[in-house]
Amino acid sequence: MQTGQLTTDQLAPRPERLRRALNTPLLTLYGLGVTVGAGIYVLVGATAAQAGPFAPVSFLLAAVVVAFTAFSYAELSTRHPVSAGEAAYVEAGFGAGWLATLVGLAVALSGMVSAAAVAIGAAGYLHDLTLVPQEVLTVLVVGIMGLIALWGIAQSVTVAAIITVIEISGLILVILWGFFVAPPQGFELAEMLPPLQGPHWIGIGAASLLAFFAFVGFEDMANVAEEVKDPAHTLPRAILWTLALAAILYVATTAAVLVAVPIETLATSSAPLLLVFDSASGRMQQVFAVVAIVATVNGVLIQMIMASRVLYGLADRQHLPAVLAMVSRRTQTPAVATVAVCLITVLLALALPIEALAERTAQIVLFVFVLVNAALLRLKQAGDPGGDFFRVPRLVPVLGVLTSVLLWGTSFL
């Protein structure tokens, strides 16, 4: 595909619409791809440092907290199955276009910052293998992922889904190797069940706040809603499947690592999952390193898909310049928005202190969670409009607001 030769007759701001091509399996794999990734590859050691042998419980508690907002997204995404989902929800709930634009831009920025940070990480791994300058590799990673995103939603999500399967296979390999192959040097499973009372719950709670960030990403599924088949049924199923499968993978992976690796070594490692293979051959360690590279590249692709759909959705509702709503007639993807996301991501990766920006990404997401849950509360107070969409009790967004505010406030401490 010659993306550099897109002409105005191939692009159109309104006549061409995004193609509904995503079913429940593809959307679930998309959700897993953006949720399961660098977080679990680096957070196991940090959570173990705070929660000790009870780190799996911390991931489980984080899943429960995230579940409230996930259910809110399930209703909102079927009430308003459009791109730039969070912006549309906030606009519907508060009737403030400026606030919707702010939320949409915050979501898009979080995606581009995340993609830039992950691209730098992927380039670092590749530099160790190829010795090509890291800046060149960063641009190549972003450029190649941008071309895949331009290719078409079905094709790009299929590529992301294949990579996600590889990525999840790597976690399954960790689980199997840690439980059944690696010599046990850590805790037994029975030691990972915490007593109902005791000071250990302080460490479990602190680790849960850290583990929460490993679940951030499921909300990006709302931003491809215009490309989902039968969104009223597909979106809730895929959101809930994503959350459930991610929780299972996180708990099992953490437990396997705690069984195989001494806690003292685990708590200080920046690559904790690789420690499981210390007793394995060099080839096995190389295979897992390649899987880690693939996992990071997948994060770049999915975050860029999400950010481009947010910019497209904002422009389509006249909150941003109309040029960003142009859709390629050939691929039916938001071509201008995708190119813009690629360029901004490259600039962020090469010119700005990505580490500091990435630390703020989670705070942006929690702020958006608060507004999204509050928007659903306002919509419910206005009455049920009828129609075929997923519904949750009013208590769900109330708890979503409370838990998000708590986590958002704690992140500043």
SS3 state of residue 365 = helix
pLDDT for the residue 256: 93
Predicted local confidence at residue 6, as pLDDT: 43
In a domain, 7, yes or no: no
- Identify whether 9 is part of a domain: no
Q: How many domains does the chain have?
A: 1
pTM equals 0.74
Q: Is residue 2 part of a domain?
A: no
pLDDT per residue over 268-292, tens digit each?
775 677 788 877 777 787 787 788 7
User: What stretches of 213-334 show up as alpha helix (H) in DSSP?
Assistant: 231-260, 263-266, 282-316
**Beta carbons of 112 and 412 less than 8 angstroms apart:** no
CATH number, domain containing residue 357: 1.20.1740.10
Residue 10 falls inside a structural domain: no
Angle at which helix 395-410 crosses helix 55-79, to 10 degrees, equals: 130
User: 308: exposed, middle or buried (C-beta count within 10 Å: 0-12, 13-18, 19+)?
Assistant: buried
- pLDDT for 412 equals 63
Looking at residue 2, what is its pLDDT? 42
**Is residue 50 a part of any domain in this protein?**
yes
Spatial distance between the Cα atoms of 29 and 156, rounded to a whole number of angstroms:
12
Which range marks the domain in which residue 111 is found? 16-383+392-410
Q: Residue 199 domain-assigned? A: yes
* pLDDT for position 1: 40
Q: Residue 27: which region, alpha, beta or left (left: phi > 0; alpha: psi -120 to 50)?
A: alpha
Q: Containing H/E element for 12?
A: strand 11-12
Going by the DSSP 8-state scheme, the letter that residue 181 receives in this structure is I
Q: CA torsion 330→331→337→341, rounded to 10°? A: -130
Positions in the chain short of pLDDT 70: 1-19, 21, 37-39, 41-42, 83-84, 121, 124-125, 128-129, 153-157, 223, 270-271, 352-362, 410-413
Contacts of 219 (CB under 8 A, 6+ apart): 69, 70, 73, 85, 86, 365, 368, 369, 372
